Copies of this chain bind each other. A is one copy, B any other.
């Protein structure tokens, strides 16, 4: 019996500054690399405005797609436009409530920041407390860099993870607080990517070759791309495959490389 892979992942990036072009989103690329390498399969990335309805709509779509993992970034801070957790609560039908562990964490961070001279007061004002108000039942993911903790929540078969938008904080929480969960979830799935260069400069000719190889060597994904354009153009082919066994995945990729080489003009 084939094991049903637990891998379908969607990423939701929250932030108006990305939609206006002010900020180049690099979080989704970093998460895509990291999650793909862990065996996750990213099917969709969405960027939305800092509005509860927009965020909630994307969460509902991702839940409706039976995603195993949904990762959001952005909208966890203390300001009025940080609305991601409210949207998570709305999409999952949960109440918002103060999370005691998260409140302790936020308090501890501001005590530390005051000691370091980063802030004047360590008082837990309403906007600081806001960062500890979670959908009921959610768990806190400590933030080793900033004040806003990450959040994880099981909603049926889906793990919803909310991380801050600041790349340094997002990455630190992912590596230090989330890795074990994702490894357990995605299991031992193995992802491999190889790139080969070709002597061809004509994408339409290479396309016909790749089309045949895709049919002959199933479960290897092929994609051609020019290294640059001009007189000396060379096309390269990226081969990707996923599976439960590293040797088998490697053999599949090598099989496809041989089939492509056999068909390339000398």
Contact = CB atoms under 8 A, between A and B. Distances in A.
Interface of A: 16-22, 24-26, 28-36, 42-50, 54, 61, 77-81, 116-120, 125, 127-128, 130, 145-146, 166, 168, 193, 201-208, 210-211, 214, 221, 223-226, 229-231, 233, 238, 240
Contacts of A231: 116-118
Number of copies: 2
Given A20-B36, A21-B29, A25-B25, 10 more contacts: A20-B240, A22-B193, A44-B48, A44-B49, A61-B61, A79-B206, A79-B210, A118-B229, A125-B205, A127-B207
A16 B223 contact: yes
Contacts of A49: 43-44
A125 B127 CA distance: 63
Given A16-B223, A36-B21, A80 B207 contact: yes
Q: Which of A128, A205, A223 has the most CB of B within 10 A?
A: A223
Q: Which of A36, A203, A205 has the most CB of B within 10 A?
A: A203
Contact of A17 (B81, B125, B238): B238
A241 to B, nearest CB: 11
Nearest to A131: B204
A145 B119 CA distance: 53
A223 B223 CA distance: 40
A206 B42 CA distance: 36
